[in-house]
Amino acid sequence: MGAGVTGYGEILRAPYAARLLAGTLVGRLPSATGPIAIMLFTRAEGGSYSLASALAAVYGAGTAAGQPLLGRAVDLRGQLRVQLPAALVSALAMVALAVIGTGELWPACAAVAVAGLFTPPLEGGLRALWPAVLGREDRVHRAYALDAVAQEIMFTVGPLLVTLLVWLWSPAAALLVINALGVLGALAVVLSEPSRAWRSAPREAHWLGALRSPGLLALLGSFFFVGLALGSITVAGVAYADDRGSEAVYGLLLAALSFGALVGGVFYGARRWTGEPERRLRILIALLALGYLPLALTPGVAAMTVLSALAGLFLAPAIACAFVVVDRHAPRGTVTEAFSWLVTTFGVGAAGGTAVAGPVVESAGTAWSFAVAGGGGAAALLVLAVTRRALAVPLRTGEPARPVPADPAPAGPPVPDTTARVSENDRNGAAEPGFSSRPEA
């Protein structure tokens, strides 16, 4: 694992790399913690579990609808023109929710829908920037792994930050602070030179865009159910915390889930993998589903925290491997859109999970709401098994990557210009062994 950690340090020393990674993570805080903040805000306003889960689901659905649309806009018009205005509109919508409250249903639904719809596609945008910033393909794949690990740090810190803000001030203050930080993170990214200069590779005009790839469609179908599992845990965790009489328990469980994913991501990214990533993804999803099942036992807080950490152990590796698969199956020139579609499937799945789990809590209890997560993991594995043939043949429509010296000068990456840009979609035909375990998420 030492070589992998050393490789991470090499990535962070590249010009702009640390800024882009940190800015993206901070910019994604609103979307990462949005369902949690909305749930706590609605409960504090006196709303029911059903209302809280419905509003969180509307937010997730808005994000799901907006990500591929904004991702395609980024591919066509560049990052600065799309990402920053979207971040501002999303933040202002959350400010409106904090002001109007949840007493009136339709204004509250409208606010969370707009906030979700205009969530900037920073995640896909970052992965589009890595080739221009790092040059060599092995460094790009290692950056994907670093990205996956950093995300889990965010998902560990994010829930704790929301609960801390709620404890220090109020759920409304948590909404405002988180979204202000999101705008600052987006600014840090889009004002950087690589982001301002980035342009997508030429693309074939097609109304389906990235969705014309059968392999990508199969992957999206599977990760819909992964999102459903995670969305149901969001609601089930609130119910479990209420059963124990402490909001802090909720943050603890979500932090443990993300901590487990962080540990899994570090070990996964530190190893070189060979073989087809599609096969490895099936194994990881199977292990992920097995990890979710024991949560339905709902033991005491200490044991439940351990189970949550174990449940998250294979999440980052599965996401990391999924991004390698996206890279292999996405059509040329659809880099931001393709990654944004994966975010969308998570959003739709998570929205479905939160919408289902709320009524399940009220009708059948907390344990059954956790059982929804296990069912989601099993369904994700089933989709991958059924669509094995579609995933067996990567879509190879991209051009070969631009030649890069074996050992670029330490002065840093090439000056980001449109002629030197290497899109991730241009690397669909690259062989994975030797790079494969740097997933990517």
Residue 201 is predicted with a pLDDT of 65
* The pLDDT value given to residue 241: 86
pLDDT in tens, 184-228: 999 999 999 999 988 876 666 566 777 888 889 999 999 999 999
Residue 353 near residue 372, CB atoms below 8 Å: yes
DSSP 400: P
Alpha-carbon torsion 251, 256, 257, 259, what sign?
positive
- Contact indicator for 297, 363 with CB cutoff of 8 Å: no
Residue 440: CB atoms within 10 Å? 32
CA dihedral 83, 85, 87, 93 (to 10 degrees): -150
Using an 8 Å Cβ cutoff, are 353 and 223 in contact? no
Question: Residue 339 corresponds to which amino acid?
Answer: F
Q: How many Å apart are CA 418 and CA 441, to the nearest integer?
A: 25
pLDDT at 5: 61
Convert the pLDDT of each residue in 326-359 to its tens digit. 878 878 778 788 888 887 887 788 878 888 888 8
Largest CA distance in the chain: 63
The span from the CA of 327 to the CA of 144, in Å, is 11
CB atoms within 10 A of CB 111: 25
Q: Which helix (H) or strand (E) holds 106?
A: helix 105-117
The reported pLDDT for the residue numbered 16 is 93
Q: What tokens were used for 271?
A: 């190893």
CA triple 122-12-118, angle to 5 deg: 5
* Cβ count near 32 (within 10 Å): 22
Structure tokens at 297: 């036992």
Distance set, CA 242 to CA 254, 291, 302 (Å): 14, 23, 16
Residue 204's alpha-carbon distances to 131, 132, 208, 221, 301, in angstroms, are 21, 22, 10, 24, 53
CA distances from 247 to 94, 166, 230, 232, 312 (A): 22, 10, 19, 17, 21
**Contact in structure between 381 and 286 (CB atoms under 8 Å):** yes
* pLDDT computed for residue 122 by the predictor: 93
Task: Specify the pLDDT at position 19.
Answer: 95
The whole-angstrom separation of Cα 124 and Cα 420 is 20
Question: What local confidence, expressed as pLDDT, does residue 417 receive?
Answer: 37
- The secondary element (H helix, E strand) that includes residue 191 is none
Residue at 55: amino acid letter:
L
- Supply 17's token pair: 């790399």
Q: Give the residues of the chain that fall short of pLDDT 50.
A: 396-441
Ramachandran category for residue 135: left, alpha or beta (phi over 0 → left; psi -120 to 50 → alpha): left
Q: What are the structure tokens assigned to 367, written together?
A: 């344990």
CB count in 10 Å sphere of residue 22: 16
Q: Vertex 301, ends 288 and 168: CA angle to 5°?
A: 105
- CA–CA distance from 127 to each of 4, 140, 435 (Å)? 19, 9, 16
Specify whether the CB–CB gap between 59 and 116 falls below 8 A. Answer: yes
**Structure tokens that stand for 128 in this block:** 């589009």
Please name the residue ranges forming H helices in 312-365.
315-329, 335-364
